[in-house]
Chain A
């Protein structure tokens, strides 16, 4: 079993839909959870990060962590065509540590249709 599992999709939704992206993990020591967005032909860019369990909201984006279930989610409200990208989850054991310690999921390719 890989440390981080992520459904690669592709996921296609109509504009305005609520999108739910998810990752599961096996390492209970993970404490630092991140979501990256990667547009085609570009490098990943950090979208949100959370520490331990709970929710974090930033505009149309909400990141949720459930450590008891080893499950993290990213919700996108009122999705826009500009949200079309691959979304990668990443996690590490140490909060604020080096990016080199991050374990990435495979990414979910999202397409938002006008």
Chain B
């Protein structure tokens, strides 16, 4: 069974630029999560989708972050404009409802 796929794996941008991350969940998994993991911290939930609907986006900084999950499968997370403090690993995870599986993450560096 293929795992959660994410791309790109690494991204370096300058502050105020835009960036987008892509996630392809495990086939059949209705629930998809995006997390932010700052160096030395545990993952923090940004947004949770159930199929293509948002379940929880209470911790998503909506002034600069956006996410969508068209057709209830793939998802993209966008940051516009990026700030220095957005430097982190962005993890995608998917599940059938309970415990999920994480992807390898996208490491973002904002200079």
User: Can you report 12 residue pairs joining A to B where beta carbons are below 8 Å apart?
Assistant: A4-B42, A42-B104, A43-B105, A46-B99, A49-B99, A88-B42, A98-B31, A99-B100, A100-B48, A104-B42, A104-B43, A106-B41
Given A43-B103, A49-B99, A100-B33, A90-B48 contact (CB < 8 Å): no
Size bin of chain B's contact surface: 20 to 34
Cβ distance B43 to chain A, nearest Cβ, rounded Å: 5
**A96 beta carbon closer than 8 Å to chain B:** yes
Size bin of chain A's contact surface: 20 to 34
Q: Check if A99 sits within 8 Å of B104, measured CB to CB.
A: no
Q: Check if B48 sits within 8 Å of A98, measured CB to CB.
A: yes
Q: Check if A44 sits within 8 Å of B31, measured CB to CB.
A: no
Q: Check if B93 sits within 8 Å of A99, measured CB to CB.
A: yes
Which of B98, B102, B107 contacts A44 (CB under 8 A)?
Answer: B102
Q: Check if A100 sits within 8 Å of B55, measured CB to CB.
A: yes
Residues of A within 8 A of B95 (CB): 98-99
